[in-house]
């Protein structure tokens, strides 16, 4: 059995086992998620909330932006509070105030430390003891706690209205005035906030570990929420697994890489033999759309960041009444995924006929039809979200056509189904174009196979976003949501990228097909080893049990392993870029691929592992340290790669055009310098300050208006302007470059004559 076959069998076994474990653990989560009660009742018989109130309250929260107005259990926006953490803190203070007045005649805050500690010890059992009755579905609370709940609920009903007493908080939270106009809806939303908070402090039934449903997250010293012993233990094991994985990979690299035979690059650019077919030319409009989405995303990002300075306005204009923060952040995050995904999908549509040398009938029609569908989905989904957040759609229509409220999977269910159908169309277009390459038996067949496998996975995995219903448990939704968010990005997009770049280097004659095949298969196994089950590190505090945390901590450490040797990969890429004079034609795609390696190490590697272990994430989740990882990994890795792939396609698609290298040089350095400044001047220092605040006072304080309104935070927010501005300049320069390829000067070059000659020989017309 040859090496390629053994690697294919190993990859197949790994995927079967990994997805089997994922489904088994998903089944466990369905059974152990925090229970949603049929009613919450005081000891005196008063019904505080019903199941219908909690479900409807969550729908209200989703309709106004959900994760884009603060967060729940650490997932969501960073500007407003984490509602589950803040409710917990406020409820504890309210209960201690009641007892402080009874026992000392003053409030909790006015007492000395010993008296405060005594009260804390008194209320902890009342909050942590699980009074949920599985037989009746009832949570029973003391009359004293019922009074505290009513007090906290009144506060939030005021915040989400137009009450002048809480106007300053709405501004600090970037909430528009009267975000939830209906009083009953506000009351129901407090039911959801209460339940989310209850799950963070209530100990599991029939469990002697003393852990809450969210594994004691968030950190709250007043009620005894602190990291568990298992968090310490599995964090240590996570680090050990990472070190062992890096050592094994370094050994493999040293042994295998030294056996690689030298290869002499061809004298001429082999890619000139690629015939640009009509469907490949039709992909050009996708790159115009990429630039339009990218520029819009940059503009919305600047607006979203400015809301942290002026919570409801933009330089005096009442922007929140037309375009509230929840919408700008929603569209900013969605557009980041959309423009990057569009660049990757377009690259696939361009390369599939190039790999196979086959242009199926009506392929161009399919490419054009998919483009129209994509525009309809973006416009329709965004319009529905605007009507939802402005409370003009109604709760009965929100799930299907409005704002689902789940970060990165926000669009209404109708638009999700439409997008899934679009991805299936993309899969069909890719499959029919790649089919001849898949049937051929040569040294690049496995690369084409992995390319198609990643295409299948990208298209089909989006179906995970259709696995929940309107009232599905939030823990279950989080589980399925990260099938998309994690497995797309840290799983099969990685495979897609490795296969595409390997094909490019093989086609350019810089890497042998057999060597590339083995390297791609091995890299895929390494990525999948940590990338699939590593998904569970997103679920540490989403209502899972210790077993899931153990798997997430152990396996997600392996995600860092392939990044340890990223410098060698970057060197190989740089060396390939200098292998022959004609490679200067691909200088900028190569440089963007090198930038991908750098940000992979920094963003996904260093900043990713910084927050990866259970203990680290316990204190860092939902802070700007996670934002630092998110920005550097998403744009630094996948955004840069999308631009690099786009430039490679444009080199073949528009060979007769003169490349304005000054624009690309300015864009390249603007992107890298801007992203570095944003990270170093704002996101990291702000995240460190939030970490300190969480360690000393609790998560609620690190996310509070009191903390975020400090002078040092204002300075750090303004320090983001230079980096954001430089990055925006880079986006503008790339857009100008793309425009120049269609609207700029057109000197006829030797490559274009060569391509025309080959096209005539093969009988391919551009019509």
- Tell me: the pLDDT tens digits for 317-356? 888 889 999 999 999 999 999 999 999 899 999 999 988 8
For residue 555, report the phi and psi dihedrals to the nearest 5 degrees.
-80, -35
Instruction: Give the other-Cβ count within 10 Å of 206's Cβ.
Output: 6
Range with lowest mean pLDDT among 559-563, 668-672, 700-704, 712-716 = 559-563
Q: E strands along 351-477, which residues?
A: none
> Which of the given ranges, 222-226, 232-236, 599-603, has the highest pLDDT on average?
222-226
More reliable by pLDDT, 279 or 522: 279
Q: Which of 547, 554, 527 is nearest to 27 (CA)?
A: 547
Residue 203: pLDDT above 70? yes
Rounded to an integer, what distance in angstroms lies between the CA atom of residue 642 and that of residue 324? Answer: 30
What is the tens place of the pLDDT at every residue in 384-398? 999 999 999 989 999
Which domains does the chain show, CATH number per domain? 46-226 (no CATH), 564-767 (1.20.210.10)
Q: Helices marked H in 542-606 — which ranges?
A: 546-556, 566-577, 587-599
Neighbouring-strand partners of residue 71: 76, 82
Any long-range contacts for 705-712 (C-beta under 8 Å, 24+ apart)?
705/81, 705/168, 705/169, 705/172, 705/173, 708/79, 708/172, 708/308, 709/172
124 in Cβ contact with 38 (< 8 Å): no
CA-based end-to-end distance of the chain = 47
- SS3 of residue 220 by DSSP: strand
Range with lowest mean pLDDT among 86-100, 240-254, 681-695, 721-735 = 240-254
* DSSP class of 36: P
**353 membership: H or E segment, kind and range:** helix 325-356
Rounded to an integer, what distance in angstroms lies between the CA atom of residue 165 and that of residue 167? Answer: 6
Instruction: Give the other-Cβ count within 10 Å of 16's Cβ.
Output: 10
Residue 765: pLDDT above 50? no
The chain-wide mean pLDDT, for the chain, equals 88
Helix axes 720-743, 661-677, angle to 10 degrees: 160
Rounded to an integer, what distance in angstroms lies between the CA atom of residue 495 and that of residue 477? Answer: 26
Rounded to an integer, what distance in angstroms lies between the CA atom of residue 369 and that of residue 358? Answer: 20
Rg (CA), the chain: 27
Rounded to an integer, what distance in angstroms lies between the CA atom of residue 317 and that of residue 580? Answer: 56
499 in Cβ contact with 513 (< 8 Å): no
Instruction: Give the other-Cβ count within 10 Å of 107's Cβ.
Output: 13
Q: Which residues fall within 8 angstroms of residue 501, CB to CB, at 6 or more apart?
A: 593
634 in Cβ contact with 335 (< 8 Å): no
Quick one: pLDDT at residue 161?
96
Rounded to an integer, what distance in angstroms lies between the CA atom of residue 385 and that of residue 336? Answer: 17
359 in Cβ contact with 433 (< 8 Å): yes
Rounded to an integer, what distance in angstroms lies between the CA atom of residue 461 and that of residue 267? Answer: 42
Average pLDDT over every residue of 176-204: 96
632 in Cβ contact with 675 (< 8 Å): yes
Q: Which of 141, 220, 69 is nearest to 541 (CA)?
A: 220
The whole-model pTM stands at 0.90
Average pLDDT over every residue of 204-229: 91
Count of helix runs (H) and strand runs (E) in the chain: 32, 6
Quick one: pLDDT at residue 257?
61
User: Where residue 177 falls among pLDDT bands split at 50, 70, 90?
Assistant: very high
For residue 41, report the phi and psi dihedrals to the nearest 5 degrees.
-125, 140
């Amino acid at each position: 059995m040859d090496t390629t076959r053994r690697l294919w069998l190993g990859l197949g076994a790994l995927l079967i086992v990994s997805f089997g474990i994922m489904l088994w653990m998903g089944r466990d989560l369905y059974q152990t998620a925090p229970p949603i009660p049929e009613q919450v009742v005081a000891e005196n018989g008063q019904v505080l909330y019903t199941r219908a109130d909690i479900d409807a309250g969550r729908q209200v929260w989703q309709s106004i932006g959900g994760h884009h107005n603060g967060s729940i259990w650490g997932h969501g926006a960073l500007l407003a509070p984490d509602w589950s953490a803040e409710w917990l803190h406020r409820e504890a203070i309210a209960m201690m105030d009641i007892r402080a007045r009874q026992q000392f005649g003053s409030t909790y805050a006015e007492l000395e430390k010993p008296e405060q500690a005594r009260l804390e010890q008194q209320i902890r059992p009342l909050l942590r003891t699980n009074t949920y009755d599985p037989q009746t579905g009832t949570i029973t609370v003391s009359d004293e706690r019922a009074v505290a709940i009513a007090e906290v609920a009144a506060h939030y009903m005021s915040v989400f209205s137009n009450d002048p007493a809480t106007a300053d908080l709405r501004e600090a939270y970037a909430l528009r005035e009267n975000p939830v106009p209906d009083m009953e809806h506000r009351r129901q939303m407090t039911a959801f906030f209460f339940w989310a908070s209850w799950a963070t402090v209530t100990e599991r039934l029939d469990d002697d570990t003393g852990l809450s449903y969210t594994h004691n997250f968030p950190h709250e010293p007043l009620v005894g929420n602190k990291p568990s012993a298992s968090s310490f233990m599995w964090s240590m094991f996570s680090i050990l697994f990472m070190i062992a994985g890096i050592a094994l990979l370094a050994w493999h690299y040293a042994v295998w890489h030294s056996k690689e035979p030298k290869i002499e690059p061809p004298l001429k650019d082999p890619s000139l033999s690629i015939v640009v077919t009509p469907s490949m030319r039709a992909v050009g409009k996708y790159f115009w759309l990429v630039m339009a989405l990218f520029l819009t995303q940059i503009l919305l990002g600047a607006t979203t960041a400015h809301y942290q300075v002026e919570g409801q306005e933009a330089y005096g204009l009442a922007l929140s009444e037309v375009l509230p923060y929840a919408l700008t952040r929603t569209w900013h995050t969605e557009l980041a995924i959309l423009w990057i995904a569009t660049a990757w999908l377009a690259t696939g549509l361009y390369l599939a006929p190039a790999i196979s040398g086959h242009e199926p009938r009506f392929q161009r029609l399919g490419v054009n039809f998919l483009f129209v569908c994509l525009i309809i989905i973006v416009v329709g989904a965004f319009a529905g979200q605007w009507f939802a957040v402005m409370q003009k759609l109604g709760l009965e229509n929100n799930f299907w056509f409005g704002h689902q409220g789940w970060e990165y999977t926000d669009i209404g269910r109708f638009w999700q189904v439409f997008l899934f159908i679009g991805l299936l169309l993309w899969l069909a277009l890719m499959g029919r174009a790649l089919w001849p390459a898949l049937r051929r038996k040569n040294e690049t067949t496995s690369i084409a196979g992995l390319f198609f496998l990643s295409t299948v996975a990208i298209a089909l995995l989006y179906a995970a976003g259709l696995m929940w219903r309107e009232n599905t448990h939030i823990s279950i939704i989080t589980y399925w949501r990260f099938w998309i968010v994690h497995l797309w990005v840290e799983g099969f997009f990685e495979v897609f990228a490795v296969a595409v770049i390997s094909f490019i280097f093989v086609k350019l004659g810089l890497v042998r097909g057999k060597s590339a095949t083995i390297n791609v298969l091995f890299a895929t196994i390494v990525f999948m080893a940590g990338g699939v089950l590593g998904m569970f590190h997103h679920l540490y505090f989403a209502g899972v049990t210790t077993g899931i945390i153990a798997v997430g901590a152990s396996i997600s450490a392996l995600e860092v392993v392939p990044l340890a040797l990223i410098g060698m990969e970057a060197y190989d890429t740089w060396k390939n870029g200098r292998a022959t004079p004609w490679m200067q034609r691909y200088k900028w795609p190569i440089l963007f691929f090198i930038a991908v390696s750098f940000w992979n190490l920094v963003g996904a590697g260093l900043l990713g592992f910084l927050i990866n272990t259970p203990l680290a994430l316990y204190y860092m989740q939902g802070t700007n340290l996670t934002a630092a990882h998110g920005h550097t990994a998403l744009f630094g890795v996948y955004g840069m790669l999308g631009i690099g792939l786009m430039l490679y396609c444009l080199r073949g698609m528009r060979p007769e055009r003169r490349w304005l290298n000054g624009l690309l040089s300015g864009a390249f350095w603007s992107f890298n310098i801007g992203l570095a400044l944003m990270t170093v001047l704002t996101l990291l220092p702000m995240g460190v300050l939030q970490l300190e605040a969480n360690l000393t006072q609790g998560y609620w304080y690190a996310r509070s208006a009191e903390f975020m309104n400090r002078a040092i935070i204002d300075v750090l927010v303004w320090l983001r302007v230079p980096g954001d501005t430089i990055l925006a300049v880079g986006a503008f320069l790339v857009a100008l470059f793309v425009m120049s390829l269609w609207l700029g000067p057109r000197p006829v070059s030797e490559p274009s004559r060569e391509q025309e000659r080959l096209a005539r020989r093969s009988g391919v017309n551009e019509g």
